[in-house]
Structure 1
Amino acid sequence: MNLYFRFIWLFLWRIGHCKKVSFLGTSRIDYRVLPLDCDINLHLTNSRYPAFFDLARTYLIAELGLMKQFLKNKWLPIVNAAEFTYIRDIKPFEKFTIETKMVGWDEKYFYIEHRILTKRGLHCIAHVRGVFMCRGKQVPVETLIAAAGYTDDMPEMPPEVVKWKQFLQLKKERNI
């Protein structure tokens, strides 16, 4: 339930007061672990990470200056795949920062990296592959890149994302 409040707070306050980042820049948003975010081991439960990453991607869209366009055009973000590497736990009431950035794209998908940090260091790295949909059809990657005003070349994808992409293709081929 508390993520609904965080989502409302994100839309009512934070998005209206966010800074602008470049298309390949890093977005940063801060949160604090509340008691309802914890599991029986008294740390941030693994199921909360994807929910926080949803909020962070929404904030990234706002910092890219695309929120009005997304709402007007009814573009909806859809996660196709995600992978997480948990490094250390985050304790109750601990403040953390989520760093989010676009690390690349291909003919169909965007690839986004999330990093969770506290004063104690790095806690989680995650990669998300996704698309944007509108009325049941995929919004072309080129349309979104143009909407962001990005005209440079695509960056080289990190090696771990390239390997992950290959792994996802193998999984798909072996299970058809």
Structure 2
Amino acid sequence: MNLYFRLFWLFIWRTRHCKSIGFLGTSHIRYRALPSDCDVNFHLTNSRYPAFMDLARTYMLAEMGLLKRFLKLKWMPIVNAAEFTYIRDIKPLQIFDIETKLVGWDEKYFYIEQRFVSKRGLHCIAYVRGVFVCKGKQVPIPQLLDAADFDAAPPELPADVLHWKEFLQLKKQRNT
């Protein structure tokens, strides 16, 4: 089981009672590391981070007011790449927040930053690159922005995201 109860709770309760954020706002969702989320080292297992991040990105779309609209359009988010930096572990039963924000986009992908934080500080920072697809085809970024009613200038991508993009391009070139 991969967080099915939390996914159910997210759709049934949390998305109906969430605050509203702007398209470039920061979403916050709180979780507790249950013993079933932890590994033999008594901390949140590495495989749980991306699963929690999926939930947090879904919640961000709800806070932006886009989740229902995108579901009606049958637009499904697809992660193309992810990069993690683990800083300190999350202990069993520890409460933590996931801060999620859209940091920018290019001609093909959107980029999201996600941070795991608690009273102990920053635990993990991750970047996700992705697209939305509908009927097997990518939804163009301009169409996505139009559906989100966003017509301002795009934010400048953070330097670490630009470096990561270069690294991903290099990997692609070396492996095709």
- TM-score, with length taken from structure 2: 0.99
Report the Cα distance in structure 2 between the residues aligned to 1:154 and 1:120, rounded to whole angstroms.
33
* Partner-residue secondary structure (3-state), 1:126: strand
Cα deviation, residue 2, structure 1: 5.9
For 1:14-53, list aligned pairs within 5 A: 14-53=14-53
- Which residue matches 2:80? 80
Structure 1 unaligned spans of 5+? none
Other-structure match for 1:157: 157
Identity of aligned residues (%): 70
Deviation at 1:146, TM superposition (A): 1.3
Q: 5 Å matches for 1:64-79?
A: 64-79=64-79
- Corresponding residue SS for 1:49: helix
1:140 corresponds to which letter in structure 2? P
Contact 1:2–1:36 (8 Å) recurs in 2: no
Kindly provide the amino acid, as one letter, of the partner of residue 25 in structure 1. G
Corresponding letter in the other structure for 2:10? L
Q: Are residue 130 (structure 1) and residue 130 (structure 2) matched? A: yes
Q: Secondary structure at the match of 1:59?
A: helix
Q: Structure 1 segments of 4 or more deviating over 4 A? A: none
| Letter in structure 1 aligned against 2:95 | K
Report the equivalent of 2:120.
120
Q: How does 1:99-110 map to 2 (within 5 A)?
A: 99-110=99-110
Number of residue pairs the alignment of both structures matches: 176
Aligned position for 2:168: 168
Output the amino acid matched with 1:162: L
Unmatched runs of 5 consecutive residues or more in structure 2: none
Taking structure 1 as the reference length, the TM-score comes to 0.99
